[in-house]
């Protein structure tokens, strides 16, 4: 009898959840979301979640030919299914505004429900950061505010590390956050996730090949609680209707307790069925490399060497700074890092540039180089 009652209760919960989702989808069917950065690691999942919640979803891509194969099918599979893929270079403000006006004019209510920016520079160096994290994202905001577009809400995917900024890409993100907060034509939500699962999974192939897991210091210098891309996508799309998240900077992390780098390594070895094998690199290596590169950059006035020094600073930042939320209200999602490791140990992981400095990624497939936009 008890077993029957439990099964009945679970069935009712499942049915209620399905009913709630159906109601939400019905309410959203005449609302249009535009997703910028739609083929990036998080952007793909945000497109899928927007479609799942019933919105008419427009995925902006730089080059439509690079997200379709020769048969005209989407290379990103189910991520873009149900969305309208629109070609647009978000770094070109005139083209972007023209595109947004066309989308808005064809919308049921002649306006956009939301603009969701998942734009992020790939390298993090100054030139790229200010081109994408600031200017291209500002282009999206300004297009959304245009009277012929009339977007209601803006959701920004930012970064937790902006709390303690000493890198160029953080400054670029903060400059845009300030512009977003200063305008009064659209409501907004600024979401700062701690880290993505992809960013702490870069050493999977390294470990599977028998090489050691690389970490800095004693492996317990930093802690984090990263998020699954699907959980983060849900949080971002929910910001559109959750008024308690309006006008706020929202720090958010996953459901795990604080995980040190060493603990992440142990979990990864457990997932692949190998005995732990660690290599501890001294933290002073970062300073030696960064200082040398910066000295040469200043001496020869070299942008290339300046960028290399900045890349070193990015690596050091994530080796010494916590990416961690501990407030229960700042933890979201149900998927743990161990569950993620267990899955990718069997299924593998698609290449994406979001990997840590600790693991090398294989060469990019030609069609995936368009993911920044």
- pLDDT 10s digits, 181-238: 999 999 999 999 999 999 899 899 999 999 999 999 999 999 999 999 999 999 999 9
Token pair of 122, please?
């790939």
User: What's the rounded Cα separation, in Å, for the pair 88 and 98?
Assistant: 9
- pLDDT 10s digits, 56-103: 999 999 988 777 654 555 566 678 889 999 999 999 999 999 999 999
CA dihedral 102, 108, 114, 119 (to 10 degrees): -40
- Provide the whole-model pTM: 0.87
User: What's the rounded Cα separation, in Å, for the pair 55 and 37?
Assistant: 17
Mean pLDDT computed over every residue of the chain: 88
CB 195 within 8 A of CB 226: yes
Domains of the chain, CATH where assigned: 27-196+226-252 (3.40.50.720)
User: What's the rounded Cα separation, in Å, for the pair 341 and 355?
Assistant: 14
Mean pLDDT over 289-311 rounds to 97
Nearest to 186 by CA among 152, 146, 140, 147: 152
């Amino acid at each position: 009898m008890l077993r029957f009652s439990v099964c009945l209760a679970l069935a009712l919960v499942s049915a209620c959840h399905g009913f709630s989702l159906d109601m939400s989808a019905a309410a959203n069917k005449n609302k249009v979301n535009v997703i910028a950065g739609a083929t990036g690691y998080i952007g793909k999942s945000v497109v899928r979640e927007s479609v799942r919640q019933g919105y008419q979803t427009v995925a902006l891509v730089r080059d439509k030919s690079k997200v379709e194969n020769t048969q005209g099918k989407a290379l990103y599979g189910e991520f873009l299914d149900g969305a309208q893929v629109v070609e647009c270079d978000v770094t070109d403000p005139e083209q972007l505004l023209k595109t947004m006006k066309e989308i808005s004019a064809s919308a049921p209510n002649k306006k956009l429900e939301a603009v969701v920016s998942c734009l992020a520079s790939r390298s993090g160096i100054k030139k790229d950061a200010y081109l994408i994290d600031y200017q291209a994202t500002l282009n999206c905001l300004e297009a959304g505010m245009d009277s012929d577009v009339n977007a209601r809400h803006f959701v920004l995917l930012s970064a937790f590390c902006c709390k303690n900024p000493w890198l160029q890409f953080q400054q670029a993100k903060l400059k845009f956050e300030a512009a977003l907060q200063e305008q009064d034509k659209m409501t907004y939500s600024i979401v700062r996730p701690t880290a993505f699962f992809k960013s702490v999974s870069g050493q999977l192939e390294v470990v599977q090949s028998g090489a050691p897991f690389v970490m800095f210091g004693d492996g317990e210098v930093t802690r984090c609680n990263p998020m699954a891309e699907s959980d983060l996508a849900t949080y971002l799309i929910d910001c559109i209707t959750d008024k308690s998240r309006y006008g706020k900077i929202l720090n958010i992390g996953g459901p795990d307790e604080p995980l040190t780098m060493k603990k992440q390594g142990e979990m990864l070895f457990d997932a692949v069925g190998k005995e732990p094998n660690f290599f501890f690199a001294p933290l002073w290596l970062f300073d030696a490399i960064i200082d040398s590169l910066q000295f040469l950059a200043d001496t020869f006035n070299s942008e290339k060497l300046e960028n290399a020094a900045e890349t070193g600073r990015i690596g050091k930042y994530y080796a010494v700074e916590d990416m961690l939320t501990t407030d229960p209200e700042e933890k979201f999602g149900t998927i743990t890092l161990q569950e993620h490791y267990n899955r990718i140990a069997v299924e593998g992981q698609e290449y994406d540039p979001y990997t840590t400095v600790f693991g090398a990624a294989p060469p990019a497939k030609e069609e995936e180089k368009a993911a920044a936009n």
